[in-house]
Structure 1
Amino acid sequence: MGTVTTKDGTSIYFKDWGPRDAQPIVFHHGWPLSGDDWDNQMLFFLDQGYRVIAHDRRGHGRSSQSATGHEMDTYAADVAVLTDALDLRDAVHIGHSTGGGEVARYVARAAPGRVAKAILVGAVPPIMVKTASNPGGLPIEVFDGFRASLVANRAQFYIDVPSGPFFGFNRPGAEVSQGLIDNWWRQGMQGAANAHYHCIKAFSETDFTEDLKQIDVPVLVAHGTDDQIVPYDDSAPLAAELLRHGRLKSYEGLPHGMLATHPQVLNPDLLAFVTGEASRPGR
């Protein structure tokens, strides 16, 4: 583990495990979590011989609780500082939810040779909020509600989200894991309230359409069809169509937090794409 310092003095915490000469896999977490959300995948890819790296976004986890920079341009710039400092080349960047937006923006702007492939899991691109050009998006009132709940009682909000829609534990017959709920709460409360508040705008209102069009490396778009946080129909299929080398993989009935609830399903598919063994997947 270590830290890198950005131009505005923000300290970005990261974990870096595995052989330094192995291909790097870089993990980008969702809101309002930290690099710890990738423990299962990091251990899985570490066992496969990869170098695995996960950072805490500014204002999240163990990174600095900065006053500014809680938008996608700065998030992507912070990733560039990290990858430059570690001199990562031919890396695979995997992002979940908000982290998928961060991946899209970073990869679209990355220097040649830095990125080999990317994976977007339950990711926010192309854009979440409903607009004239995105009529299938969620109304702004949904995200206003997120902000109001965070301000009113962040600690309770961070129990309610994982207990319900994030992991699909509100569905009939769901196998509820109190450990996942508690770990979600722990990661969320470790971060800064101001960063989490402003990040809601970043993940919901940022339009990644042009980023997706510019990406020129293979990208796997993986999404659960019962995602209650980033609805499937207005995200994954649209993102895959915008990508030059996109592959869509749909998971019938799986929730937003499927990486944690179904790692035995997701991890082999991620590995197959990384190694190039995956045939073109579809729904």
Structure 2
Amino acid sequence: MAAGCEEVHACSEEEQDEAADAEEAMLWPIQEALERQTLQIGASACGATAVVDVLRALGVDVTPERADQCVRTRLRRNDSPLPDYLLSRSQAGATHTQLIQGAEDASQGQVTGRFFHFHPRRRAKLVPWLSKWIRKGAVPVATMNMQVAVPEGEEVPDAWHHQLIFGVTSNAVFMTNPLDLVSEEEVHQRLCSESVLLIQRQDVLQRLTSDCCLSSLSESHTDPRWKALDVEGQVRQMALEEEQEQDRATLTHITIPAAYSSGITLFTLRHTDLGQELLNAPQLPLA
């Protein structure tokens, strides 16, 4: 009986090793990724930075300036009154649509991309799914809400982030800008996020002046989410807490709509079998 159990256990471990090997896929070895990766090329330009490396991975060299120009990175309007500042924050950087268009323009049509939503939650295992596409030659870029799954004790980041994924292993994901190895669970949480952005208390209060028209936060936007999230009410509550000089403020952030969608964009050369397969691939099914 004992021998039989040991045999079953040994077989199970072997199967687990095979499964882990099947999930592993790398565009570059780690040392090569360290040498090849492009570090942030400018303010809010993580998307354009990822596009530079996507194109290089696919054999198309472009300058960072050209990539940024094609992606059309949006900047924060830090000197604007609060309503316009918040609007700029909701759009700063780039969306996956801008990344796809930017890669196509910078490569003169050689490269195409396809975005796969991960929110609402999808019925897919992230690492095996990525492994399948990487092995075929696709280059993934994650669009993640970095304000989700923040390790305990660390400060909440103030932005979303685009990162090229250069490999996966058993239950972890390798990314560039910065070079990082992140657990599958953590990446998945950041990929499965509503399109919202947290704005730090000090960023709101330092731009809140007596002549600030807060009603514009609800009335002038075409996006109904500004009203649904009651951004105006959040700002008023934060201002009230400041006036009352509460020892511990309830609102450390306000929540505003974000232009970004969380998920993975896969890039490949357009005029290839893989390019056609990618463009014809269905969205991942809802969980």
TM-score using structure 1 length: 0.25
Between structure 1 and structure 2, the one with the greater Rg is 2
